[in-house]
Amino acid sequence: MSDMNQQMAARYKNNFLKEIEEQAEMGNWVKMCMQCGVCSGSCPTNFHGGWDHPPQELFMMIRAGKRDEVLSSNSMWQCVSCYNCYVRCPRKVPITHVMHGIAEYAYRLGRAPKMQPTLHLSQTFWNNATKYGRVNEVKLTQSLYFKDGIASGIKKAMEMQSVALGLVKAGRLNIMEALGGGHKCKDLKGIQAMLAKARELEAKRKGRQPA
């Protein structure tokens, strides 16, 4: 167990609902769920299996204090933010945001499942956006394609060449801009200062050190 995970477990004792309410983004909505199951029935990714627990089950487990099972679950990482559940929930629970809030909290505690493709994509996307001030699609694609080595990256690039050509033809991929390193941002320092301040305020609100 990571230090932070131990500290949080000790701080909240057996009150996992309170822990989620205070530590996870939008976690205070979990108690509003009335277990109707509309969210799970509406979820396109849940239909394909692979989820440890559908959303309403995860919410009940939080209320039942199943801390380990929830934090190590793959469920929050399967959500693709389609908002189907959110618009249909009779209690107006912002399920999409709650799922991402629980995922972010599990990540902070070092409980995110290893080898999770969603985690890898979101980390790569976030690092890219914060480093360049906006999503640099060229660098993002490079990071994702070459994450398993040069040979695997070249193989993926060859597989996707018809898609790249289609994007060029449709004017969605500018070769000259790509060769120059992709999109740039006008005030990178300003954006990074804003993000640092946001981290500081968020950490103060949650009573922890800035990430």
Name the site residues for ligand SF4 (rule: CB under 6 A). 33-39, 42-43, 45-46, 55-56, 79-85, 89-91, 93, 95-96, 99
Cβ proximity to ligand SF4: between 54 and 182 the closer is 54
Cβ proximity to ligand SF4: between 17 and 39 the closer is 39
- Amino acid letter for position 15: N
| The residue to which tokens 């390193």 are assigned | 181
Here the tokens at position 139 are 């660098």
Cβ proximity to ligand SF4: between 89 and 140 the closer is 89
CB of 193 to ligand SF4, least distance (A): 32
Q: Which residues contact 157 (CB under 8 A, 6 or more apart)?
A: 145
CB of 118 to ligand SF4, least distance (A): 11
CB of 77 to ligand SF4, least distance (A): 10
Cβ proximity to ligand SF4: between 8 and 38 the closer is 38
CB of 36 to ligand SF4, least distance (A): 4
